[in-house]
A and B are shown apart, each in its own frame.
Chain A
Amino acid sequence: MRMTGPLYGGTVLRIGSAVEELAQVYPWLDAAAQTVGAPVDLLPGMHVVLDEVVMNAVMHGGATCIVLTLTVEAGVVVLAVEDDGTPFDPLTATLREKATRLEEASPGGLGLRLMHHYCQDMAYQRTGGMNRLVLRFPVA
């Protein structure tokens, strides 16, 4: 029988916000990418984006539960991230201009730029008290 609910391991990962649980996202992504047949050259960018989304959810959203799902749909690698943090739609957050001097550089806001760089597209929904972000990565 095929289970459809969240699983521990496989291509679904459900974690809490403790650092040792957050650290599981990296080995999980490597293993899940192999399972679904995602191209290896996508992995560096996917790791950056995943780190970004998870850290945002925990540090800014106060999330205590995060569910990650990796699939390949019609040849596109799709990473879905759900969390129970405060509502945050990264698509409506404005991208700041790049700073031209280090003195003016703000460490925040870089993550959004990186997400836009590595993702083909992003979709956001708030449903049932959860943020749901669907990130699609281009397959060359």
Chain B
Amino acid sequence: MAITIEDIEGGITKVMLSGRLDIAGVAAIDLPLSVVGGSRRAVVMDLSGVEFMASLGLRSIIVSSKAIISKRGKVVLLSPQSVVEELLITSGINELIPIYHNEAEAIAAVAPVAD
């Protein structure tokens, strides 16, 4: 399980998760994801490299996303593989955190609106 956090242009943060979000994998991303939740306001979580996720991994993503939303930030999920997308849809998370399959659209969706 790997996580990289990259601050790209426009105050947007891209979080790339890859590998298995299983019992051991969740432990590796819990802390970095809570740092993202606590410190970033426009986040794209790229799930394209995630091979497996169960409710423990979902929990980690939800907790981080709630922290972002509570600061009036925005968060979206990008390109989950089909088994992971089925899980997101079954749990209803897709209705709470939008899923995109196109990176440019995902970035546009979280981009801060200019005053």
Contacts and interface: CB of A to CB of B under 8 A. Distances in A.
Interface in A82-140: 98-103, 105, 107-108, 110-111, 113-114, 117
Contacts of A36: none
Interface stretch (A3-11, A18-26, A67-75): A18-26
A110 B63 CA distance: 13
B69 A110 contact: no
Q: How large is the interface on B (under 10, 10 to 19, 20 to 34, 35 or more residues)?
A: 20 to 34
A16 to B, nearest CB: 13
Dominant secondary structure of chain A at its interface with chain B: helix
Given A22-B23, A48-B54, A111-B55, A99 B87 contact: no
Interface string B22-49: 1110010000000000000000000000
A19 B24 CA distance: 7
Given A102-B69, A107-B59, A114-B90, A47 B54 contact: yes
Contact of B87 (A48, A55, A98, A100): A48
B46 to A, nearest CB: 19
Interface of B: 20, 22-24, 27, 52-56, 58-59, 62-63, 65-66, 69-70, 83, 86-87, 90-93, 95-97
Given A44-B83, A55-B23, 14 more contacts: A20-B24, A22-B24, A23-B22, A47-B54, A51-B23, A51-B54, A51-B56, A99-B92, A99-B96, A102-B96, A105-B93, A107-B63, A110-B59, A113-B92
